[in-house]
């Protein structure tokens, strides 16, 4: 008789999440496993069949009233046997009483709607080697690690539904990540982080007050690894960002729907040029 058990993932077990995400073609960051774990160490679950991990889900709690679901994966050999829905219930129990967000792949969106999620916008992944451009006049780019953390955390909060300072400090400070802040006329006008991924690099978040600020950040970051592709998950609700991706010569390669169980959070969508990560929001 088979035995299926849902357990909180160990630190070592976090490698399964990114390995399986790679198998799904999601191109995770090479540093993602432990950095994402830091957001809510109790919010990552593995499903084990007779002691062998076969399914995953993350249910990260932010503050007191927001949560985000990701890494919802059942290995191909066990799909259709009811293990995925058991993982889903474990995740939703962990997030009970919160407005829950997720980025749903196309083939699962109808299932999410039946579970009470509603689409807010679609993230469109754009990838390639940026062309043209450079740093806009009057813009000064500086290492994000040198900017007072409180300033960056307050700025990030404009674009995210809850406080995430513990995660953000790790995201900015990791030795393999490059973070940049954009300053113009003495004001913080943009912020971005680039991290190495299975293929090329991922840029996220990309926050900016205008397309020229966002373009400056992308070009400076991409210039750190010349000729290598970058990928950004762009909210289609921000038409300026979608147009910027076209001007940069980046191609749409993948899409997923940002969905919530409750009201769409009141965030500065005009300044959201790319999401931090579709696994954690």
Dist CA 156 CA 160 (whole Å): 7
State pLDDT tens for residues 199-234: 999 999 999 999 999 999 999 999 999 999 999 999
Which are the contacts of 276, defined by CB distance < 8 A and separation ≥ 6? 160, 171, 193, 204, 205
* pLDDT of 198 over the 90 cut: yes
State mean pLDDT over 94-121.
95
State mean pLDDT over 112-133.
95
**What pLDDT is stored for residue 107 in this prediction?**
87
* pLDDT of 146 over the 70 cut: yes
**What pLDDT is stored for residue 1 in this prediction?**
64
Which are the contacts of 89, defined by CB distance < 8 A and separation ≥ 6? none
State pLDDT tens for residues 159-172: 999 999 999 999 99
E strand map for 83-168? 99-105, 118-128, 140-143
* pLDDT of 243 over the 70 cut: yes
Percent of the chain scoring above 70 in pLDDT: 100
What is the residue-averaged pLDDT of the chain? 95
3-class SS string, 48-64? EECCEEEEEEEEEEECC
What residue ranges do the domains of the chain occupy? 4-103, 126-274
**What pLDDT is stored for residue 207 in this prediction?**
98
Question: Quick one: pLDDT band at residue 23, thresholds 50, 70, 90?
Answer: very high
* pLDDT of 57 over the 80 cut: yes
Which are the contacts of 227, defined by CB distance < 8 A and separation ≥ 6? 129
pTM over 0.85: yes
* pLDDT of 20 over the 90 cut: yes
State pLDDT tens for residues 123-142: 999 999 999 877 888 999 99
**What pLDDT is stored for residue 165 in this prediction?**
95
CATH for 126-274?
3.40.630.90
Top-confidence residue, 184 or 123:
123
**What pLDDT is stored for residue 178 in this prediction?**
98
Which are the contacts of 154, defined by CB distance < 8 A and separation ≥ 6? none
The CB density around residue 270, as the number of other CB atoms within 10 Å, is 15
Does domain 4-103 correspond to CATH entry 1.10.3720.10? Answer: no
State pLDDT tens for residues 63-96: 999 999 999 999 999 898 989 999 999 999 999 9
Dist CA 59 CA 43 (whole Å): 5
* pLDDT of 50 over the 80 cut: yes
């Amino acid at each position: 008789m088979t035995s299926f058990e849902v357990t909180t993932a160990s630190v070592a077990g976090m490698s399964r999440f990114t390995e399986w995400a790679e198998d799904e073609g999601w191109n995770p960051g090479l540093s993602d496993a432990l950095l994402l774990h830091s957001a809510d160490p109790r919010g990552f679950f593995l499903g084990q069949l007779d002691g062998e991990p076969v399914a995953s889900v993350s249910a990260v709690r932010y503050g007191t009233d927001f949560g985000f679901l990701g890494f919802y994966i059942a290995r191909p050999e066990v799909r259709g046997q009811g293990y995925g829905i058991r993982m889903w219930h474990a995740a939703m129990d962990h997030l009970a009483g919160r407005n829950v967000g997720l980025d749903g792949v196309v083939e699962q969106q109808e299932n999410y709607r039946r579970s009470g999620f509603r689409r807010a916008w679609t993230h469109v992944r754009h990838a390639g080697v940026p062309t043209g451009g450079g740093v806009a006049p009057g813009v000064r780019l500086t290492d994000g690690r040198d900017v007072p953390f409180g300033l960056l955390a307050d700025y990030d909060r404009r674009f995210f539904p809850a406080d995430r300072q513990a995660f953000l400090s790790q995201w900015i400070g990791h030795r393999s990540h490059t973070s940049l802040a954009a300053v113009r006329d003495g004001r913080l006008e943009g912020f971005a982080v680039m991290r190495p991924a299975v293929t090329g690099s991922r840029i996220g978040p990309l926050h900016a007050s205008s397309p020229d600020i966002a373009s400056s950040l992308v070009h400076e970051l991409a210039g750190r690894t010349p000729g290598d592709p970058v990928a950004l998950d762009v909210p289609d609700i921000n038409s300026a960002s979608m147009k910027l991706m076209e001007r940069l010569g980046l191609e749409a390669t993948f899409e997923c729907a940002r969905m919530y169980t409750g009201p769409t959070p009141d965030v500065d969508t005009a300044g959201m040029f790319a999401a931090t990560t579709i696994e954690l929001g």
